[in-house]
């Protein structure tokens, strides 16, 4: 190349480099100019110089020129529609930064949160800094590093679970945080400013100023130092002392709870370096035990629905020792006109700003303007996602409350609609209909009627409510041609009118609970006379985040377990939703039959929790929070406090007593929490609200109380079949329900204790697999699994005989083997001690028979509720002679034990019970065996007299006989008009109740019975004791032969005559020492002539 050309190229190169350098210089200068003019003062206060340089570099790459302001000056603006993402390690945090163009968008952080990549750790901090011109924002997300987080603590969000794993105070993460805070605090000037300000608050210097916190113990120096040690130093450093202390008030409001506290104050721009934004407000929130990202996301979505734009937001997580953590959120919000004014002001366009200023009206400064927003924000932890979808995506403007009522009503009536027309009604189809604007307006009208009917501030008469309901029904019939949609909407209106009480207006409710007329949830055929279906006494429905729950009871005062159902797939959730109420009804009815021996009627709670997107701890968290929300929502309708009297309009008019117990998936921590919450909510006898308490109760699994009764019925059944294992006769038995289960595990223990090697357990199946051995499984190995709390899949191979086999549910073949073990394995007896309701049913009962029609077991003693349906029992009895000892008899001792615990909780303090527990438990076990033996003897006595009648039918007749006498006696007790009659009733029946109770409890506290027990409970107790006395002694034919209207009087006559007969018998036994009077001789002769032959034959 010629020298001149080389020279020209060099010059051109240098010229281009110079021009490029000058352009970059102008860009950097413009970037710095834009950066300093547009980033808010809080950004510079709350970020480090290193961070700002990094952000500035990113911002400079997003700037473009060509924008001329009102003064004719060309300025660079960040108009490129891109997002830059980078991260760095900061102490124990991993900080993720996003620099995002927000031009023309008002939901930048919402979009970002929705698409935020998964991080290795738990979100602990968020800062959002939008620029003043509205074109760009810097978002900082601080995650605790993975090694600092307990296993699975961060897994909740990936699974879509709202509730966060609490980081216990004794974890390395918690210790590290407090140690770091403690190390920084003494030298931190800002912490000193916080303490100094707190001292001024405590001294009362700000009493007249509503913007400041009020004095309280939390602002004492030691309390403040403790609180500061829980906080991340950066949270302390970047918070103004006044605001930090106001947040402390919110923290204290939710500490130790599951609640959310909210505070709103106008933004005054009074703090150093702040820029005034007219009409803006700070919203501060403290949320206990939430997943921070989801809490912030839901809060911002809700604020957007109120047309509030988030100008800035901050999030920090503070430890709450012993309870988990509290997420502190602060959002600076403004309505659209204010945000627009700020954007125009940032551009320098004064004319446009003046135009907006002239037309702008601040609706948020009106009294009460924020009440609805605050109420809705307190619900973000508890409202179901479907509610948000309906109000935010499908029907904006519908409102949270209306949407929640619509979703709740639809879920409540879904089961009965699905049962009537299973192919027409599905959950997905129901929601699809409600998504239609044409249909949802009618659902909204029903919701509005619901709100008006139960508003504590609206005096709507029943006449007015019925008139309005009629108008809504007429509009539905007129406007909706689709028959199934019409049926749904009409049923929702029926649901409004069938509701007697609701917690809808309780300010801090965790779920929506309704006390409803049970007939709403039953089909027309079930309500027909002679259908065989009994209408329950009462039903509660509870709708919450990811769950629906029913509580059904058949008597005013009732008890029964709480069962948690967590299907594994969405399809299974839909199936369970369709039959949830029927399962609850069936379990409660079985409980009613079973509870014949105790004061409480039968009830059951079934809570269906959707955990299909959850695994591991995330699933457990959803279940635990569902249990809490369901229980607390029930308490809203049961307790009589100043708050409930203010906010719960009661159309039922009676206080109700419910007693819960543990069932499937309820753990000891749930029991303790429910009892503590009942005490906190001022429930009467809170310790009685939940049975099977680990310390101040009788844990069913620990003491095997249910299994003790199952064994008694098994023993009696075997003897009636000519098998006496205690005499060394061997027999084979199979069992569903694992060795780690309550009934199954304890059954294994008792069988070994009572029968030893005479009992060959040839098959055991549970949720993990099945173990089978025709020569009998090792008792020692099964007991090892029981003691160590291990399932059957942990059975060791070297403990099998030569024909033994273990099937595990980690493959399809193992699942099939487990699911069919109860049908395949042959044994003399089968004890279902676990398994889903209806495992053997009307469509599959033939699988229980082999090819020649022989059943795999001819004796079934039902330790589990509803394992076999009535149709299957009847078919197997008729076709193959299978004898069933029904669940309501076989496993009744668990409920009797729970009743003893309830009574103990009402008569004794927890400390008194613990002192006497050992003796009480021993007495309880004896009472349980005796109660089982009394019914078992009557059951098989009746069966010998009527061999063609199946045992389940006899069992039901026993229950119905006792319940009929109980109801008849109770009516007399309830109607007793005079004090003399009431005194006579106590004289006759109180000794029966005393005899019913464990002796140790009688010794310690029976004298408190008349004054301590609720009067209605005591009447129930005396009535049931008298009924049991009559039926177990005289048999069911004696009761069935009596007119219904004479049962009560007959029972009272019976107990009087029993006393007289006892006196006669005593005189006869004493002989010559105390000879009979002529009158007594005649009575003895009359008794012998009328009943002596029958009594001597043993026929009753």
In sequence order, the 6+-apart residues with CB closer than 8 A to the CB of 873 are 882, 884, 886, 950, 952
Place of tokens 């099937």: 807
Q: What's the number of domains the chain is made of?
A: 4
In sequence order, the 6+-apart residues with CB closer than 8 A to the CB of 703 are 897, 921, 924, 925
310/361 same-domain check:
yes
479/549 same-domain check:
no
Is residue 993 within 8 Å of 985, Cβ to Cβ? no
1062/1084 same-domain check:
yes
194/324 same-domain check:
yes
Q: What share of the chain is helix, strand, coil (3-state, %, to 5)?
A: 55, 15, 30
Whether 249 is covered by a domain: the verdict is yes
Question: Where among 497, 531, 556 does a domain terminate?
Answer: 497
Q: What are phi and psi of 281, to 5 degrees?
A: -140, 145
Whether 896 is covered by a domain: the verdict is no
246/348 same-domain check:
yes
Question: Where among 655, 671, 690 does a domain terminate?
Answer: 690
Helix, strand, or coil here: 395?
coil
Distance of alpha carbon 846 from alpha carbon 837, whole angstroms: 17
pLDDT at 996: 97
User: CB count, 10 Å around CB of 450?
Assistant: 26
In sequence order, the 6+-apart residues with CB closer than 8 A to the CB of 131 are 38, 39, 40, 78, 102, 137, 346
Segment-wise mean pLDDT, segments of 10 residues, the chain, 1100 residues: 66 69 69 84 84 84 62 57 78 82 71 67 82 84 63 33 36 48 48 91 92 94 93 87 95 93 83 54 94 90 89 91 92 68 43 42 75 92 93 90 97 97 94 95 98 96 97 97 97 98 95 98 94 94 98 95 92 94 93 93 96 83 94 97 96 91 90 94 93 85 94 97 95 96 95 97 96 97 96 96 95 94 97 91 95 96 92 95 94 94 94 95 97 96 92 94 96 89 93 96 96 94 97 93 92 89 75 71 71 59
Q: Which of 295, 297, 299 is nearest to 376 (CA)?
A: 299
282/373 same-domain check:
yes
663/686 same-domain check:
yes
Place of tokens 């030691």: 222
Q: Which range of residues forms the domain containing residue 1093? A: 1056-1097
Whether 765 is covered by a domain: the verdict is no
Query: What does pTM read for this prediction?
Result: 0.83
Inter-axis angle of helices 292-305 and 108-115, to 10 degrees?
140
Distance of alpha carbon 152 from alpha carbon 122, whole angstroms: 10
Distance of alpha carbon 133 from alpha carbon 343, whole angstroms: 5
Three-state secondary structure along 265-322?
A: EECCCCCCCCCCCCCCEEEEEEEECCCHHHHHHHHHHHHHHCCEEEEEEEEEEEEECC
Distance of alpha carbon 583 from alpha carbon 865, whole angstroms: 11
Bridge-partner residues for 75, per DSSP? Answer: 67
In sequence order, the 6+-apart residues with CB closer than 8 A to the CB of 918 are none
pLDDT at 602: 94
pLDDT at 924: 97
Whether 1028 is covered by a domain: the verdict is no
Whether 1030 is covered by a domain: the verdict is no
Helix, strand, or coil here: 849?
strand
406/437 same-domain check:
yes
Q: Is the dihedral of CA 662, 668, 669, 671 positive or negative?
A: positive
Q: Where are the beta strands (DSSP E) in 583-728?
A: 601-609, 658-662
572/467 same-domain check:
no
Q: Which of 711, 741, 707, 740 is nearest to 726 (CA)?
A: 711
393/371 same-domain check:
no
Whether 462 is covered by a domain: the verdict is yes
Question: Where among 377, 396, 422 does a domain terminate?
Answer: 377
Domain containing residue 531: CATH number: 3.40.50.10860
Whether 888 is covered by a domain: the verdict is no
354/392 same-domain check:
no
Whether 798 is covered by a domain: the verdict is no
492/559 same-domain check:
no
Q: Which of 524, 545, 500 is nearest to 294 (CA)?
A: 545
pLDDT at 188: 52
pLDDT at 269: 64
CA distances from 350 to 269, 359, 777, 783 (A): 21, 14, 89, 84
């Amino acid at each position: 190349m010629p020298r001149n050309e080389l020279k020209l190229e060099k010059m051109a190169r240098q010229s281009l480099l110079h021009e490029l350098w000058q352009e970059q210089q102008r860009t950097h200068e413009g970037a710095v100019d834009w950066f300093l003019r547009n980033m808010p003062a809080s950004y510079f206060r709350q970020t480090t110089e290193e961070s700002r340089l990094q952000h500035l570099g990113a911002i400079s790459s997003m700037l473009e020129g060509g924008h001329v302001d009102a003064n004719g000056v060309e300025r660079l603006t960040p108009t490129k529609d891109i997002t830059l993402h980078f991260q760095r390690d900061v102490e124990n945090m991993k900080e993720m930064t996003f620099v995002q163009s927000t031009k023309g968008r008002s939901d930048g952080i919402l979009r970002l949160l929705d698409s935020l990549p998964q991080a290795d750790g738990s979100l602990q901090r968020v800062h959002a800094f939008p620029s003043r011109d509205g074109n760009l924002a810097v978002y900082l997300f601080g995650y605790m590093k993975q090694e600092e987080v307990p296993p699975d603590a961060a897994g909740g969000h990936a699974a879509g679970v709202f509730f966060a794993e609490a980081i216990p105070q004794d974890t390395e993460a918690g210790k590290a945080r407090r140690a770091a805070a403690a190390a920084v605090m003494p030298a931190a000037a800002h912490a000193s400013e916080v303490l100094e300000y707190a001292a001024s608050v405590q001294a009362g210097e700000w009493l007249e100023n509503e913007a400041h916190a009020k004095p309280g113990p939390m602002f004492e120096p030691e309390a403040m130092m403790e609180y500061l040690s829980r906080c991340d130093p950066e949270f302390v450093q970047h918070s103004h002392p006044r605001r930090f202390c106001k947040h402390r008030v919110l923290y204290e409001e939710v500490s130790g709870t599951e609640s959310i506290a909210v505070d709103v104050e106008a933004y005054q721009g009074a703090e150093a370096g702040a820029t005034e934004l007219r009409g803006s407000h700070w919203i501060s929130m403290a949320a206990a035990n939430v997943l921070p990202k989801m809490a912030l996301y839901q809060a911002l979505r809700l604020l957007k629905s109120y047309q509030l734009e988030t100008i800035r937001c901050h999030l920090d997580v503070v430890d709450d020792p012993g309870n988990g953590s509290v997420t502190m959120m602060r959002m600076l919000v403004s309505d659209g006109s204010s945000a627009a004014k700020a954007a125009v002001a940032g551009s320098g366009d004064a004319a446009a700003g003046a135009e907006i200023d002239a037309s702008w009206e601040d609706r948020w400064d009106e009294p009460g303007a924020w009440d609805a927003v605050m109420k809705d924000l307190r619900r973000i932890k508890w409202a179901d996602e479907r509610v948000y979808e309906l109000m935010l995506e499908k029907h904006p403007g519908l409102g949270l409350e209306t949407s929640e009522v619509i979703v709740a009503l639809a879920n409540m009536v879904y089961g009965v609609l699905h049962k009537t027309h299973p192919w027409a009604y599905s959950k997905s189809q129901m929601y699809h209909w409600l998504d239609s604007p044409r249909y949802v307006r009618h659902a909204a009208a029903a919701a509005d009627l619901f709100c008006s009917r139960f508003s504590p501030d609206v005096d709507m008469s029943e006449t007015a409510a019925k008139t309005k309901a009629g108008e809504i029904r007429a509009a539905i019939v007129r406007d909706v041609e689709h028959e199934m949609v019409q049926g749904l909407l009409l049923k929702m209106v029926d649901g409004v009118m069938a509701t007697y009480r609701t917690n809808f207006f309780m300010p801090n409710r965790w779920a929506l609970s309704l006390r409803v007329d049970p007939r709403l949830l039953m089909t027309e055929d079930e309500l027909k006379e002679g259908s065989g279906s009994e209408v329950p006494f009462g039903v509660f429905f509870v709708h919450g985040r990811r769950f629906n729950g029913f509580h059904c009871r058949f008597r005013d005062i009732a008890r029964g377990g709480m069962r948690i159902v967590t299907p594994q797939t969405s399809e299974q959730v839909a199936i369970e939703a369709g039959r949830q109420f029927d399962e609850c009804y069936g379990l409660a009815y079985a409980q009613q039959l079973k509870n014949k021996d105790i004061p409480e009627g039968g009830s059951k709670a079934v809570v269906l929790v959707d955990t299909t997107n959850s695994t591991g701890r995330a699933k457990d968290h959803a279940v635990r929070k569902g249990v809490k929300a369901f229980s607390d929502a029930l308490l809203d309708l049961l307790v009589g406090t100043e708050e409930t009297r203010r906010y719960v309009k009661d159309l039922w008019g009676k206080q109700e007593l419910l007693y819960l117990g543990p069932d499937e998936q309820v753990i000891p921590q749930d029991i303790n929490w429910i009892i503590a919450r009942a005490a906190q909510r001022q429930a009467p006898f809170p310790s009685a609200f939940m049975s099977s308490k680990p310390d101040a109760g009788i844990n069913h699994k620990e003491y095997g109380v249910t299994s003790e009764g199952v064994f008694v019925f098994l023993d009696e059944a075997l003897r009636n079949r000519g098998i006496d294992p205690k005499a060394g006769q061997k027999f084979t038995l199979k069992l569903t329900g694992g060795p780690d289960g309550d009934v199954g595990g304890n059954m294994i223990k008792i069988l070994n204790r009572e029968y030893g090697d005479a009992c060959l357990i040839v098959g055991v199946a549970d949720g993990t697999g099945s173990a089978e051995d025709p020569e009998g499984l090792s008792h020692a190995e099964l007991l090892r699994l029981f003691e160590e709390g291990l399932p059957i899949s942990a059975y060791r191979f070297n403990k099998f005989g030569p024909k033994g086999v273990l099937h595990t549910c980690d493959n399809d073949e193992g699942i099939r083997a487990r699911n069919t073990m109860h049908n395949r394995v042959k044994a003399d007896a089968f004890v279902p001690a676990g398994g889903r309701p209806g495992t053997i049913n009307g469509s599959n009962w033939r699988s229980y028979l082999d090819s020649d029609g022989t059943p795999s077991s001819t004796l079934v003693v039902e330790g589990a509720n509803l394992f076999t349906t009535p149709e299957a029992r009847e078919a197997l009895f008729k076709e193959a002679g299978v004898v069933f000892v029904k669940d309501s008899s076989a496993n009744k001792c668990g409920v009797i034990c729970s009743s003893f615990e309830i009574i103990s909780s009402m008569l004794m303090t927890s400390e008194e019970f613990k002192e006497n527990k050992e003796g009480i438990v021993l007495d309880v076990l004896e009472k349980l065996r005796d109660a089982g033996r009394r019914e078992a003897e009557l059951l098989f006595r009746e069966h010998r007299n009527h061999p063609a009648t199946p045992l389940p039918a006899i069992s039901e007749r026993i229950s119905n006989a006792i319940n009929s006498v109980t109801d008849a006696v109770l009516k007399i007790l309830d109607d007793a008009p005079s004090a003399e009659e009431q005194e006579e009733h106590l004289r006759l029946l109180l000794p029966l109740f005393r005899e019913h109770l464990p002796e140790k409890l009688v010794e310690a506290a029976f004298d408190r019975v008349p004054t301590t027990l609720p009067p209605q409970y005591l009447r129930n107790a005396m009535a049931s004791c008298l009924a049991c006395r009559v039926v177990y002694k005289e048999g069911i034919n004696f009761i069935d032969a009596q007119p219904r209207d004479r049962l009560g009087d007959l029972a009272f006559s019976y107990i009087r005559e029993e006393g007289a007969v006892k006196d006669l018998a005593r005189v006869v036994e004493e002989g010559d020492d105390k000879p009979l009077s002529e009158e007594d001789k005649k009575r003895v002769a009359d008794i012998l002539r009328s009943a002596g032959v029958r009594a001597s034959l043993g026929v009753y």
